[in-house]
């Protein structure tokens, strides 16, 4: 797990706005995350999906609650 965290930390520079966002991403997928070194396209797809669906819906729910 430490190695995957290190690799995702390197990915964080490209895809995530903050360390908290990276942590949320990793917690959302838990043990289903592929190794970014072996499956970089799948990781990029998961990041785009997560930001496009999960984050967008969360932000929309926060806007509705205000």
Using the structure block, give the residue that is written with the tokens 């490209």.
Answer: 14
Count of domains forming the chain: 1
Q: What is the pLDDT of residue 43?
A: 83
Ordered DSSP codes for 16-66: -SSHHHHHHHHHHHGGGPPPTTT-HHHHHHHHHHIIIIIIHHHHHHHHHH-
Helix (H, G, I), strand (E, B) or coil at 1: coil
**What is the band of 19 on the pLDDT scale with cuts at 50, 70, 90?**
confident
Q: What is the pLDDT of residue 40?
A: 79
**What is the band of 5 on the pLDDT scale with cuts at 50, 70, 90?**
low
Determine the Cα–Cα distance for residues 2 and 56; give it in Å rounded to an integer.
Answer: 29
Supply the range of the domain harboring residue 61: 2-65
For 30-63, how does the pLDDT look when each residue is reduced to its tens digit (9 = 90+)?
Answer: 888 888 778 878 888 888 888 888 888 887 776 6
Helix axes 40-49, 2-15, angle to 10 degrees: 60
Q: What is the pLDDT of residue 66?
A: 58
């Amino acid at each position: 797990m430490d190695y995957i965290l290190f690799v995702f930390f390197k990915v964080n520079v490209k895809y995530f706005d903050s360390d908290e966002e990276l942590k949320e991403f990793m917690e959302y997928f838990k043990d289903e995350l592929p190794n970014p070194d072996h499956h970089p396209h799948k990781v990029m797809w998961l990041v785009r999906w997560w930001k496009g669906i999960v984050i967008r819906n969360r932000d929309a729910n926060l806007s509705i609650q205000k």
